């Protein structure tokens, strides 16, 4: 929605600060909060202005930029540590303000890492962080960019938070991945996505699997 604000903090201090920012911001402001217990990344005194971002492990010789927000920030930090073990310097961008987005910060990251950007998000491709990054860099004089985007695809069944990072294709199989959804389940989710909160329209029965 035009003029709205979208925020996705990664830990308790950033959430607390951004809730205060929401209260002082006119118009529509949406904050996506994370369920479950996640490690604290920032000190209590850290500031998170709307329209900003946070960069971790930045250096002049960085070879790739890993972009995440919310739960995927932790995954990007873990990936950066693994890449460092292989001799690859990676900076991590916490895109806690998805709208408005930190366009200047993204341009700088693309410049330093020669257009090598990786976006990790727990969202579908449509309307996610990847699209926001692409739009922010679409008309900028950045280098030719290579940017894989790792979004959610399909409609997985309900699962505890830790298992979301162990889907098929994940590099950290710390627990068995959730079962693959059946075609009937995919159709049901695709239908319920348009009806709100995963509930069928009144008077409409769900298909039996």
Cα–Cα distance, 68 to 90 (Å, whole number): 13
Whether 20 maps to a domain, the answer reads no
137 and 190 share one domain: no
Least confident of 29-33, 57-61, 166-170: 166-170
Please report the pLDDT score of residue 87 as a whole number.
96
Is 185 found in the same domain as 117?
no
The pairs formed by 164-172 with CB atoms below 8 angstroms and a separation of 24 or more are 164/71, 164/122, 165/71, 165/75, 171/79, 171/82, 172/75, 172/78
Residues 58 and 143 in one domain: yes
Task: Give percent above pLDDT 90 in the chain.
Answer: 52
Tell me if 13 sits within 8 A of 46, measured CB to CB. yes
Whether residues 64 and 126 share a domain: the answer is yes
Q: What pLDDT band is residue 150 in, cutting at 50, 70 and 90?
A: low
Say yes or no: 116 and 187 in one domain.
no
Identify whether 2 is part of a domain.
no
Q: Does residue 143 form part of some domain?
A: yes
Domain end call among 133, 150, 167: 150
Cα–Cα distance for residue pair 102/51, rounded to 1 Å? 5
Residue 8 gets the label, from left (phi > 0), alpha (psi -120 to 50) or beta, of: beta
Start-to-end CA span in the chain (Å): 36
Residue 163 has pLDDT above 70, yes or no: no
What is the reported pLDDT for 123?
A: 72
Note the pLDDT of residue 83: 96
CB atoms within 10 A of CB 132: 23
- Give domain status of residue 108, yes or no: yes
Q: For residue 197, is it within any domain?
A: yes
Question: With 80 as the cut, is the pLDDT of residue 181 above it?
Answer: no
Which pLDDT score, from 0 to 100, does residue 169 have?
Answer: 42
Confidence of residue 170 (pLDDT cuts 50, 70, 90): very low
Residue 37: inside a domain, yes or no? no
The predicted model scores a pTM of 0.70
- Looking at 26-30, 48-52, 115-119, which range is the least confident one? 115-119
Predicted pLDDT of residue 183: 38
- Shared domain for 107 and 196, answered yes or no, is no
Burial (CB < 10 A; 0-12, 13-18, 19+), residue 205, is: exposed
Stretch 81-108: mean pLDDT: 96
Domain count of the chain? 2
Do residues 27 and 4 touch, judged by C-beta distance below 8 A? yes
What value does the mean pLDDT take over residues 148-155?
56
What average pLDDT does range 132-152 have in this prediction?
70
* Same domain as 184, residue 95: no
One domain for residues 70 and 145? yes
Whether residue 174 lies inside any domain: the answer is: no
**What per-residue confidence (pLDDT) applies to 46?**
97
pLDDT, mean of residues 118-132: 82
Same domain, 62 and 134: yes
Cα 55 to the center of its chain, rounded Å: 15
Q: Are residues 137 and 196 in the same domain?
A: no
Is 14 or 144 the better-scoring residue by pLDDT? Answer: 14
**Do 140 and 60 sit in the same domain of this protein?**
yes
Q: Are 32 and 61 in contact (CB under 8 A)?
A: no
- What confidence score (pLDDT) does residue 164 get? 47
C-alpha distances in Å from residue 64, one per residue of 50, 99, 121, 148, 209: 25, 23, 17, 11, 44
What CATH number is given to the structural domain containing 138? 3.40.50.920
Burial 65-97 (b: 16+ CB within 10 A, else e): bbbbbbbbbbbbbebbeebeeeeebbbbbbbbb
pLDDT of residue 52: 97
Structural domain containing residue 190: 179-209
Does residue 184 carry a pLDDT above 70? no
Is residue 10 one of the residues assigned to a domain? Answer: no
My answer on whether 55 and 146 are in the same domain is yes
pLDDT at residue 127 greater than cutoff 80? no
């Amino acid at each position: 929605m035009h003029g709205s604000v979208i925020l996705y903090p990664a830990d308790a201090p950033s959430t607390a600060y951004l809730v205060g920012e929401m209260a002082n911001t006119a118009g529509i402001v949406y904050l996506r909060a994370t369920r479950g217990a996640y490690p604290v990344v920032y000190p209590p005194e850290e500031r998170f202005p709307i329209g900003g971002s946070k960069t971790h492990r930045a250096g002049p010789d960085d070879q790739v930029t890993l972009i995440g927000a919310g739960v995927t920030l932790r995954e990007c930090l873990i990936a950066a540590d693994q890449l460092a073990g292989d001799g690859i310097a990676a900076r991590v961008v916490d895109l806690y303000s998805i709208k408005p987005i930190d366009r200047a910060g993204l341009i700088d990251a693309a410049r330093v890492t020669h257009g090598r950007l990786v976006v990790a998000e727990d969202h579908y491709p449509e309307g996610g962080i990847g699209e926001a990054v692409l739009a922010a860099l679409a008309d900028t004089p950045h280098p030719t960019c290579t940017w894989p985007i790792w979004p959610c695809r399909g409609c997985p069944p309900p699962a505890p938070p830790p298992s979301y990072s162990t889907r098929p294709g994940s590099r950290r199989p710390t627990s068995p991945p959730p079962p693959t959804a059946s075609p009937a389940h995919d159709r049901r989710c695709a239908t319920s996505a348009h009806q709100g909160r995963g509930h069928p329209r009144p008077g409409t029965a769900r298909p039996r699997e």
